[in-house]
């Protein structure tokens, strides 16, 4: 079951190359800290600036480091359907448990184009597909009836929803069924998403606070929302301040402070501002993270 605290992994870089040692150690730390699943090569993993070879390399490294301890959901999203199909096949070959496929960005397809895009990806592989709806980045929105049709495809198993529209959780339950996995795509909405019937979050903050985020999602899964709310309040500034500058620059800065990796990012993302660094340090301390 894919649920709980799922980390949208950053990709460690050193001298503009994938830092394999740092990545393996980082993934081991994540799992030992209680993280329930790993999502390499998403937006937080700077997938848009990875070469095709690097993309496959990062997925393979993640699968190897996870060693079947937790599920690996590999980001394979593209606005080119054929490219997404090729990468989905590579992810399956690497041993990923599922893929994360974002709604086609920039092209602005209609709902039928969106449906056919995801259907083609799902039919090309044997592992599960998690849809990713993020209109703020992709411009297009996967509408409710399209989601219903997609949920009927056997290996489309769930959704990462980054619309922040919590009313959708009940809507999706009504048309996609109770077994359709619903994951929040935004840390600040995860508490309310769980309360509405969600199953976890693909989280940026869990890069920096894996143990705290894992505890938070365990409480939510157990229905202990009063305790979960107290922990949410401690983490809230971290949830938000990791986005004061373009992600994942603030997250990599925080991880550098923790000695997990260098803070290197690739253009067009640039180093975060001094004001952001100060805010991130305060947010980490408020969350109970020792620096």
Residues with catalytic function: 132, 160
Distance CA 60, CA 176 (A): 31
For 135, the token pair is: 């209109």
Distance CA 200, CA 179 (A): 14
- Which residues, other chains included, contact 32 with Cβ-Cβ below 8 Å and sequence gap of 6+? none
């Amino acid at each position: 079951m894919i649920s709980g605290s799922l980390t949208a992994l950053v990709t460690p870089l050193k001298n503009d190359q994938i830092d394999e040692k740092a990545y393996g150690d980082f993934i081991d730390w994540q799992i030992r800290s209680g993280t329930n699943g790993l999502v390499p090569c998403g937006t937080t993993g700077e997938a848009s600036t990875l070469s095709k070879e690097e993309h496959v390399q990062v997925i393979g490294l993640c699968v190897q480091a996870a060693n079947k301890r937790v599920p690996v959901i590999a980001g394979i999203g593209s606005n080119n359907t054929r490219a997404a199909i090729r990468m989905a096949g590579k992810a399956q070959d690497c041993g990923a448990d599922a893929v994360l496929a974002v709604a086609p960005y920039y092209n602005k397809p209609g709902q039928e184009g969106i449906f056919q895009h995801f259907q083609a990806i799902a039919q090309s592989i044997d592992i599960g597909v998690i849809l990713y709806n993020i209109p703020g980045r992709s411009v297009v929105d996967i509408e409710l009836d399209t989601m219903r049709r997609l949920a009927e495809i056997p290996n489309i198993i769930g959704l990462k929803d980054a619309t922040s529209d919590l009313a959708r959780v009940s809507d999706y339950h009504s048309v996609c069924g109770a077994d359709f996995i619903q994951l929040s795509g935004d840390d600040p909405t995860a508490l309310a998403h769980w309360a509405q019937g969600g199953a976890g979050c693909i989280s940026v903050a869990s890069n920096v606070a894996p143990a705290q985020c894992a505890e938070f999602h365990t409480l939510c899964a157990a229905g202990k929302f009063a305790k979960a709310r107290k922990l949410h309040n401690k983490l809230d500034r971290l949830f938000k301040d990791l986005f004061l500058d373009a992600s994942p620059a603030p997250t990599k800065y925080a991880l550098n402070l923790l000695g997990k990796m260098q803070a290197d990012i690739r253009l067009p993302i640039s180093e975060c501002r001094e004001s952001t660094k100060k805010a991130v340090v305060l947010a980490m301390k408020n969350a109970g993270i020792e620096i």
